[in-house]
């Protein structure tokens, strides 16, 4: 399996073709159906209500957060809540300022323009967007070279909803032009349990509360993963049982798909196991660790590590990767510290589990 293609993993946070097909059906349609993200939801609700009460177009909204947390879903909800049509495009789709001008000039009053991956827009398009967001105006350049002239074009008021997984990459002038920024957090297991329950209902799957909890705990705080695991567990339940998802069925199914109790998959576990078994918990350099698991450096660093770090199982230090006590516990192993207790701990051992 080529792990570099993240979408091969059942625990990938990014969408694969299969996801695209079902996600539309599982998307909450309004704020009331949108699970979790209490703070963003409450703030957004106020922004939209106030705009509606004024009979005005809502402020521009920036949604940032990791893949699969509901940015696209929320942008569609914004349009629904405003009773406005939505136009969907993305940063990479806008190569030239002219592409953006064409979209902007065809917007209708109050329309929501959803710009996904807004951090990947070209610089000239970005500059055009500044003016469009602030003054609802663009300068369309006609002609080339010294004879080129800029023709100002008035735009109807619209709401830009930008989505990004990398808010830090947005230039401050762009970030500042959003009236509201919602930062999406990872979901708590109880929230994912509600997501799973809701999706099961829509997919006509019978699931027990404990079955939903079992899947939720392995979904890495991400609704997209929760929905995908639910579909895999449903398959298993249909083939191996009577179709009802109980805690036992969910646990068995996810064992088959090699997703463990904490949501780690085979790659994650391979990295962690190598770190513990071969390097005594580290510190070990990234390249050495990658060779030990037979993977590319980038795969270990970009595909496996972020979740391990987030889970508090692995830490990146200047001296290399180290396992935390939670990692030893998760794999049911004893850290060498305890084995050699009293025999004097080696130099640097103190740093190992410090911080
Ligand atoms: N709060 C939520 N409640 C219920 N379902 C949700 C929620 N958030 C996301 N989902 C589900 O998760 C799926 C992925 O969400 P969405 O496509 O909005 O994520 P995203 O943040 O746009 O991801 P990406 O960064 O990959 O574009 C959706 O199909 C939706 O069904
Ligand atoms: Mg999206």
**How confident is the model over 279-318, as pLDDT tens digits?**
999 899 999 999 999 999 999 999 999 999 999 999 999 9
**333-344: average pLDDT:** 64
The predicted structure's pLDDT at residue 344: 45
- 24 alpha carbon, closest ligand: 1
The predicted structure's pLDDT at residue 298: 94
Q: Is the peptide bond before 241 cis (omega within 30 degrees of 0)?
A: no
**Pocket around ligand 1 at a 6 A CB cut-off:** 14-15, 23, 26-28, 34-37, 67-73, 165, 195, 223-224, 227
Q: What are the distances in angstroms from CA 85 to CA 1, 155, 278, 340?
A: 42, 16, 57, 66
- 341 has a pLDDT exceeding 70: no
3-state class percentages of the chain: helix first, strand second, coil last, to nearest 5? 50, 15, 35
CATH class of the domain comprising 37-183: alpha beta
For the chain, what's the residue count? 355
Pair 242, 211: CB distance under 8 Å: no
Strand order in the sheet with 112-116: 86-90, 112-116, 159-164, 61-64, 180-183
Q: How far is the CA of 41 from the centre of ligand 1 (A)?
A: 14
pTM, 2 dp: 0.90
The predicted structure's pLDDT at residue 7: 62
Best residue among 13, 21, 40, 72 to mutate for probing ligand 1, ranked by most atoms within 8 Å of CB: 72
**334-347: average pLDDT:** 58
Q: In the chain, what are the domain boundaries? A: 37-183, 189-256, 266-337
- 150 has a pLDDT exceeding 90: no
**90-101: average pLDDT:** 92
Buried residues in 278-287 as b, exposed as e (16+ CB within 10 A): ebbbbbbeee
- 345 has a pLDDT exceeding 50: no
CATH architecture entry for 266-337: Orthogonal Bundle (1.10)
**184-211: average pLDDT:** 97
Q: What are the distances in angstroms from CA 55 to CA 29, 126, 294?
A: 22, 28, 60
Q: How far is the CA of 284 from the centre of ligand 2 (A)?
A: 36
Q: Which of 7-11, 19-23, 138-142, 164-168 has the highest mean pLDDT?
A: 164-168
Q: Provide the 3-class DSSP secondary structure of residue 139.
A: strand
Residues at Cβ < 5 Å from ligand 2 ion: 71-72
Of 93-97, 249-253, 288-292, least confident by mean pLDDT is 93-97
Closest CA to 239 of 215, 262, 217, 256: 256
CA dihedral (261, 264, 266, 271) positive or negative? negative
> Quick one: which atom of ligand 1 is closest to the CA of 116?
27
| 321 marked ligand binding residue | yes
Best residue among 224, 225, 228, 229 to mutate for probing ligand 1, ranked by most atoms within 8 Å of CB: 224
| 136 marked ligand binding residue | yes
The CATH label, of 3.30.565.10, 1.10.1790.20, 1.20.120.140, 1.10.8.60, for the domain at 189-256 is 1.10.8.60
CA distance 305 to 83: 42
**173-192: average pLDDT:** 96
- Give the chain's count of helices (H) and strands (E): 17, 9
Question: Residue 89 corresponds to which tokens in the numbers above?
Answer: 């495009």
- 76 alpha carbon, closest ligand: 1
Question: Residue 249 corresponds to which tokens in the numbers above?
Answer: 């069925």
Q: Provide the 3-class DSSP secondary structure of residue 351.
A: helix
| 108 marked ligand binding residue | no
Q: CA Rg, the chain, in Å?
A: 24
């Amino acid at each position: 399996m080529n792990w570099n293609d993240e979408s091969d993993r059942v625990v990938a946070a990014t969408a694969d073709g299969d996801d695209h097909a079902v996600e539309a059906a599982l998307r909450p349609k309004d704020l009331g159906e949108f699970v979790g993200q209490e703070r963003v939801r409450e703030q957004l609700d106020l922004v939209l209500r106030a705009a509606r009460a004024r009979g005005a177009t809502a402020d521009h909204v920036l949604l940032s957060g990791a893949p699969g947390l509901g940015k696209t879903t929320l942008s569609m909800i914004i349009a629904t809540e405003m009773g406005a049509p939505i136009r969907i495009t993305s940063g990479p789709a806008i190569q030239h300022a002219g592409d953006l001008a064409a979209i902007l000039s065809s917007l209708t009053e109050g329309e929501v323009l959803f710009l996904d991956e807004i951090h990947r827009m070209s610089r000239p398009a970005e500059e055009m967007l500044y003016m469009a967001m602030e003054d609802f105006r663009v300068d369309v350049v006609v002609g080339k070279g010294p004879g080129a002239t800029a023709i100002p074009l008035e735009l109807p008021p619209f709401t830009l909803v930008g989505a990004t997984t990398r808010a830090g990459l947005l230039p401050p002038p762009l970030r500042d032009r959003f009236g509201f920024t919602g930062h999406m957090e990872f979901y708590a297991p109880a929230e994912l349990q509600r997501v799973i329950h809701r999706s099961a209902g829509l997919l006509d799957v019978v699931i027990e509360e404990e079955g939903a909890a079992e899947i939720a705990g392995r979904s890495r705080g991400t609704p997209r993963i929760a929905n995908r695991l639910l579909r895999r567990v449903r398959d298993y339940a249909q083939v191996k049982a009577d179709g009802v998802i109980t805690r036992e069925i969910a646990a068995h199914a996810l064992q088959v798909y090699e997703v463990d109790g904490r949501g780690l998959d085979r790659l994650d576990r391979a990295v962690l196991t190598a770190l513990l078994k071969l390097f005594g918990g580290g510190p070990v350099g990234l390249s050495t660790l990658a060779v030990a698991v037979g993977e590319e450096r980038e795969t270990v660093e970009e595909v496996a590590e972020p979740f391990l770090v987030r889970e508090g199982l692995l830490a990146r230090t200047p001296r290399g990767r180290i396992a935390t006590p939670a990692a030893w516990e998760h794999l049911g192993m004893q850290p060498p510290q305890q084995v050699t207790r009293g025999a004097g701990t080696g130099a640097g051992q103190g740093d190992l589990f410090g911080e």
